Chain A
């Protein structure tokens, strides 16, 4: 603390001497000070010499330029913030905004900003926002806010707090400061709060918007994926506004700006006539850009995209008779391929919805995807993935239509090639489908190009790959490589050899005898040992596809793919939802992820699996599927077993290691999701919405009914969460140790969550802004949520509460009734 305060006090003078390394101590997350240029661009031109560290925004000559001098702004903020008492924040951070407003002296916190702000204004005369805000600032009186500044400068100040202040503080100075400060956070951290940021941008007042916009614009220039992400979210969150206001809203404007693809990196723009751009967005071009974009190549690259590799957009439009229509205009190429890709995926979903049967849907899906394949590879990617890549192929035969009554969500697998940077790396060359054989025969060693890690993995699954180097160079079935399942080596070693290859040498005239019983036994053994598969059902095609272990699927698809031999080949999967609003899902994802990190931080072994959500619009999006998991409904329907028996079948008898670890996983995940269900009031918990993965975890999906919304179903599901006797049976009954462990975990989890309640509340609260989502229906949403954290209870009282909740849920009649209701109405078991 001493060090920190020192640094803060030293700061004004230090910044005067403009040492770039200085603010290291103030923003711990970065090695370089919080300039956007320093964090993103490797070779900043004018920046290093004598320019201040924070938020430098400069433009090349000829362009309309606006410089928010970061140093000035920072100093201003500091002066302002000095007046704020830090104790306020530490006691109740969330309420800071309110108290600032309420208390007499506090609102004045930014008066001292006046001078620097005026300097700004002189430079930016066409930015009405800042003029206004600056004027407003002038009205305020200075007061002691040093503590707030100290907080802002401190190590503890993270994105979460920044977002919180941005939302709660009504002070333009603070908002502007945080707006600048955003540049200094790691991109990933800020990305997590992107929905919040954009929602604030759309629905809150201008000051907040002005504070956020430079950052957003800056990031949009840097990254295609960020641009699209923003555009999609802006579209989705603007949709709740009234049509008339929506069209002119800030969100819509920004979205249009992004989609118009004007936000190219400065290098690219500089090559064009600057005058053509200026009318567009003076504020934007002025504040967001720093003129040192790393990617000067973008412009040329996009041109080469159109000609060399196949640009998706032009390709989709090109006619059969004239395949060389390839766009000569290079404008839309930056964002267009990905947009077209997403569009065609959505188009497929819409067309599928018109088909009556699952089977027809599946067939249509497969044929549509095979068409899509003709346009790949292209500079397109799956936004749900964690690494940079290009999509090269959609193994169309693997796609499945998911169970849904009237919509047609579907699951596709996508082959991608990992790359350094999908914007700059060149798009892979198309390898025709029929090249499979040649690539295979070229590649003698099946695992060449795999990493050592992968190789180790592949050994266990396919033990005798290496025995025969020529295995893949021929493709007759006569000489086809045989993959022995492992069990062969241990169960019936001698005779099994015969069942693989008959002895062909004519010399051995000695007759070989085998026992019929052995053959029969081997058959049933192997059937038992092979991971249980579900029987194919045309009405439920996804069950089989989802049951197959992920690694196996990856291996299988890799073998069949013309790109499979490439070392950077990866398989991804995604669920495409068309006609569904995923904004609530996104909210739930954020809450889940927040809770997950809280529990991790507090070392509570609760297990939950947030799955990524991509909101494309208010009624479409994509979901990252949970791999190796099937729904409880599918488990019950296909296995015809109780959950406990299914566990025994899958993992072995109750004393085995496998069963015990599966049970532990089950308990930890149950506890995690019980808390989630309670806190978020997740409803519609029928067995189709609860998945069970291969390791025994349960995973809740479909957060369509959370917080204030619940399905209109006559008041079923009154219990806090779903805990059926079947679940308890898997835990070893209500008197078992594991059940107590379950309750203990819930208590620990609740305590931990309570400790960091603000981080959770903040996510939800910001999204409530301007939202028509059913989960925010009514006025008590936030209050209810807050109450469920039970801040006022002692730990003993909390324990009692948990016991009550568990007991209540276990006894709940309504849970059982709801399952029965679902069985009757939707056939979900």
Chain B
């Protein structure tokens, strides 16, 4: 109680008297916790909402209510809630603002108090069971009309904050029973309206998108969530565009921040020197380039891509960023009269997918910390969804849509940092493949991210399936992919024992070998040149030792009895063709070398041998190489998403409470209005 008082009196610091002077509003709060406040003062509620809210006091007061007291004051709290909702309909904006904030405090305070209590108790305490439905209906309707109306932008912002506050008030969103009423009284349309309008999107788009992402995750797997249903059928172009734009801007902002930080870190000789010296003292102070990742926005992107098939087209919208700029220019200087627009010619066009790929390349660099690991996983899941979608694939492979995508590459000892400027402009799928290759070569470490590797290899497989089906001959340097995959196998082999303790490496090995089988058996349908098929054989033969070792290993495991027996034997079968190729060509190459007395054959010579000896090689056609399991969130990913949503909730709650409810701005605004 003393703590409460300390917080309460602003004036207390100056006066040392025992009876502190309390704010009027605090007194009024106190009254609520004693008896029916309206009994003595019929205008009590009117006056209350004219007072500046003291959130902290109200919250802590609610927290400190004891068990028996609850019964006593429940009616008063219900009444407070009721009047808050009513005040939302007031003309007087100050009242609306105060009511919104009071509601916020109510939700938070009551939850804080009853952390362990069931959702029903909380509802009962806030609104009273019998009236809960009506109260929440009123509340949602009021919020809806505030959000959609022509009112002040700050008010709208506050509404969204209240909703965010309500949604994140529990750690596990699915345990937040009040949301059941938000499901019944949908504010989905209001959210969409905010997103479809350019100006409101600019101001509230981020909150709206996060709110939507969270609402979609309410009891996702247990019941029918109307937000999921509604989101999946949205087909209004501007709205989807708007959603894409919000995500795009958030990701762009992240990429920019990262870049700034990166440049800061490598700024000149002196700073490198100081940082070297510095790192000598702070041994492992992990001065990493860590910009707070933004899982909430990524989750929104995922839900949009996963649930709404129309959203895929938004990924391909070329001009997202650019158009915004163009639009403003349009408004400023009537464009059509002035064809010479003062546009920056160096402005690179971009789209959501490119930004996303860049973001993914940053996030994937370092997967050690939990948030980044989650982000990286989510990125790969999104890419999986994209790779499965036909329209997205068509866009990725569109030969006319060429882009330069500057992926971030981890600086590594054994390779130079790629010169960014020389990246050619290519279809976007090349960037996706680059990203996958980049991931494969950079994450072979003790703490092996098996899950990410599986996803990565599956994405490649899905893209290959599309290319095979549609006979798209992508001009990609497949060699890089092949050698990355072979190196991965090599890594698995050399770390067999440590890895086997934690993972089923045979599954991954099988997927990798089957990628090779795709190339071997169906190469004719999607390889760009006949030479590339020769090169594939060359690469396999050159690295035959890896395949030999792999075969020995899987043979050994599959002959022993053990938990991996079956998995390993699958790999042995999958290796049939690769081994056939090695066994066929190796002797030929050796004899060629012997006949021509050459110790070291050049690549051209080996290719020559390969070319002239195809006809005597027979391969076995394997089943289901071009089949893949479609992505489904349930049941495999459910746990991941639950955890993810929990962490997002915590994060959002923290951010909402920290800075956004400061009402100075609001008051300033409304004092001039009213």
Binding site for B on A (CB under 8 A): 316-317, 319-321, 340, 343-344, 346-347, 350-351, 354-356, 359-360, 362-364, 366-367, 370-371, 396-398, 400, 432-438, 475-478, 480, 482-483, 485, 498-504, 506, 511-517, 519-524, 526-527, 535-536, 538, 544-545, 560
Contacts of B388 in A (CB 8 A): 476-478
Q: Are A513 and B618 in contact (CB under 8 A)?
A: yes
A320 to B198, CA, bound (A): 6
Can you give 11 contacting A-B residue pairs, CB < 8 Å? Answer: A320-B199, A350-B340, A367-B322, A433-B237, A436-B391, A480-B469, A502-B623, A504-B627, A513-B621, A516-B581, A519-B524
Contacts of A524 in B (CB 8 A): 530
Contacts of A499 in B (CB 8 A): 521-522, 524-525
Contacts of A435 in B (CB 8 A): 235, 310
Binding site for A on B (CB under 8 A): 197-199, 235-237, 240, 309-314, 317-319, 322-323, 326-327, 330-331, 334-336, 339-341, 343, 345-346, 348-349, 388-391, 393-394, 398-403, 424-425, 462, 465-466, 469-471, 473, 475, 520-525, 527, 529-530, 533-534, 581, 614-628, 630
Partner of B401, one of A397, A433, A520: A397
**Closest B residue to A436 using CB positions:** B391
**Closest B residue to A516 using CB positions:** B617
Contacts of B318 in A (CB 8 A): 366-367, 370, 396-397
A643 to B314, CA, bound (A): 45
- Expressed in whole angstroms, the minimum distance between the Cβ of B579 and any Cβ of chain A is 13
Q: Are A502 and B626 in contact (CB under 8 A)?
A: yes
Known: A475-B309, A501-B626. 19 other contacts (CB 8 A): A343-B339, A354-B345, A355-B345, A359-B425, A364-B349, A367-B323, A433-B237, A477-B462, A478-B627, A480-B469, A506-B623, A513-B620, A516-B617, A517-B615, A519-B523, A519-B524, A523-B523, A536-B475, A545-B400
- Expressed in whole angstroms, the minimum distance between the Cβ of A326 and any Cβ of chain B is 16
- Expressed in whole angstroms, the minimum distance between the Cβ of A152 and any Cβ of chain B is 48
The 9 closest A-B pairs by CB, nearest first: A347-B339, A434-B310, A517-B614, A517-B615, A320-B198, A523-B524, A434-B313, A524-B530, A516-B617
Contacts of B527 in A (CB 8 A): 523
**Closest B residue to A535 using CB positions:** B475
Contacts of A355 in B (CB 8 A): 345
**Closest A residue to B465 using CB positions:** A477
A515 to B339, CA, bound (A): 62
**Closest A residue to B611 using CB positions:** A520
Contacts of A511 in B (CB 8 A): 620-621
Q: Are A371 and B393 in contact (CB under 8 A)?
A: no
Q: Are A477 and B390 in contact (CB under 8 A)?
A: yes
Q: Are B621 and A351 in contact (CB under 8 A)?
A: no
Contacts of A519 in B (CB 8 A): 520-521, 523-524, 533, 619
Contacts of B327 in A (CB 8 A): 320
A803 to B614, CA, bound (A): 57
Q: Are A316 and B335 in contact (CB under 8 A)?
A: yes
With A316-B336, A319-B330, A321-B199 in contact, is A438–B617 under 8 Å at CB? no
A364 to B615, CA, bound (A): 50
- Expressed in whole angstroms, the minimum distance between the Cβ of B240 and any Cβ of chain A is 7
Partner of A434, one of B314, B469, B622, B630: B314
With A366-B318, A520-B524 in contact, is A502–B624 under 8 Å at CB? yes
Contacts of A397 in B (CB 8 A): 318, 398, 400-401
- Expressed in whole angstroms, the minimum distance between the Cβ of B481 and any Cβ of chain A is 18
A290 to B84, CA, bound (A): 72
A483 to B533, CA, bound (A): 22
Partner of A371, one of B235, B319, B630: B319
With A482-B470, A503-B621, A560-B394 in contact, is A321–B614 under 8 Å at CB? no
A435 to B308, CA, bound (A): 12
Partner of A502, one of B326, B524, B622: B622
**Closest A residue to B320 using CB positions:** A367
Contacts of A396 in B (CB 8 A): 318
A340 to B336, CA, bound (A): 8
Q: Are B621 and A498 in contact (CB under 8 A)?
A: yes
Contacts of A398 in B (CB 8 A): 400
Q: Are B334 and A437 in contact (CB under 8 A)?
A: no
Q: Are B530 and A527 in contact (CB under 8 A)?
A: yes
- Expressed in whole angstroms, the minimum distance between the Cβ of B350 and any Cβ of chain A is 9
**Closest B residue to A485 using CB positions:** B471
Contacts of A346 in B (CB 8 A): 339
- Expressed in whole angstroms, the minimum distance between the Cβ of A740 and any Cβ of chain B is 42
A346 to B425, CA, bound (A): 26
A633 to B345, CA, bound (A): 30
A477 to B623, CA, bound (A): 18
With A396-B318, A477-B466, A538-B424 in contact, is A371–B323 under 8 Å at CB? yes
- Expressed in whole angstroms, the minimum distance between the Cβ of B520 and any Cβ of chain A is 8
Contacts of B534 in A (CB 8 A): 520
Q: Are B400 and A432 in contact (CB under 8 A)?
A: no
- Expressed in whole angstroms, the minimum distance between the Cβ of A489 and any Cβ of chain B is 15
Partner of A477, one of B197, B393, B402: B393
Interface-central residue, A344, A354, A437, by most chain B CB under 10 Å: A437
- Expressed in whole angstroms, the minimum distance between the Cβ of B153 and any Cβ of chain A is 12
Contacts of B616 in A (CB 8 A): 517
Q: Are A434 and B240 in contact (CB under 8 A)?
A: yes
**Closest A residue to B348 using CB positions:** A363
Partner of B340, one of A351, A370, A436, A512: A351
A741 to B622, CA, bound (A): 59
A359 to B426, CA, bound (A): 11
Partner of A526, one of B393, B400, B524, B620: B524
- Expressed in whole angstroms, the minimum distance between the Cβ of A369 and any Cβ of chain B is 9
Q: Are A478 and B628 in contact (CB under 8 A)?
A: yes
Contacts of B530 in A (CB 8 A): 520, 523-524, 527
**Closest A residue to B234 using CB positions:** A434
Contacts of A319 in B (CB 8 A): 330-331
Contacts of A520 in B (CB 8 A): 524, 530, 533-534, 614
Q: Are A350 and B339 in contact (CB under 8 A)?
A: yes
- Expressed in whole angstroms, the minimum distance between the Cβ of A509 and any Cβ of chain B is 10
Contacts of B330 in A (CB 8 A): 316, 319-320
Q: Are B349 and A367 in contact (CB under 8 A)?
A: yes
**Closest B residue to A544 using CB positions:** B399
Contacts of A360 in B (CB 8 A): 345-346
A535 to B528, CA, bound (A): 11
A560 to B198, CA, bound (A): 28
- Expressed in whole angstroms, the minimum distance between the Cβ of B484 and any Cβ of chain A is 23
Contacts of B625 in A (CB 8 A): 502
- Expressed in whole angstroms, the minimum distance between the Cβ of A517 and any Cβ of chain B is 4
Q: Are B313 and A515 in contact (CB under 8 A)?
A: no
Q: Are A363 and B349 in contact (CB under 8 A)?
A: yes
Q: Are B621 and A432 in contact (CB under 8 A)?
A: no
**Closest A residue to B321 using CB positions:** A367
A354 to B346, CA, bound (A): 10
- Expressed in whole angstroms, the minimum distance between the Cβ of B241 and any Cβ of chain A is 9
- Expressed in whole angstroms, the minimum distance between the Cβ of B440 and any Cβ of chain A is 22
Interface-central residue, A363, A498, A527, by most chain B CB under 10 Å: A363
Q: Are A536 and B199 in contact (CB under 8 A)?
A: no
- Expressed in whole angstroms, the minimum distance between the Cβ of A443 and any Cβ of chain B is 15
Q: Are B619 and A513 in contact (CB under 8 A)?
A: yes
**Closest A residue to B393 using CB positions:** A477
A759 to B627, CA, bound (A): 68
Contacts of A478 in B (CB 8 A): 388, 465, 627-628, 630
A520 to B524, CA, bound (A): 7
Q: Are A344 and B336 in contact (CB under 8 A)?
A: yes
**Closest B residue to A474 using CB positions:** B390
- Expressed in whole angstroms, the minimum distance between the Cβ of A199 and any Cβ of chain B is 27
- Expressed in whole angstroms, the minimum distance between the Cβ of A813 and any Cβ of chain B is 41
Q: Are A514 and B619 in contact (CB under 8 A)?
A: yes
A355 to B344, CA, bound (A): 9
Contacts of B399 in A (CB 8 A): 536, 544
A523 to B520, CA, bound (A): 12
**Closest A residue to B202 using CB positions:** A320
Q: Are B470 and A370 in contact (CB under 8 A)?
A: no
Partner of B619, one of A317, A364, A516, A538: A516
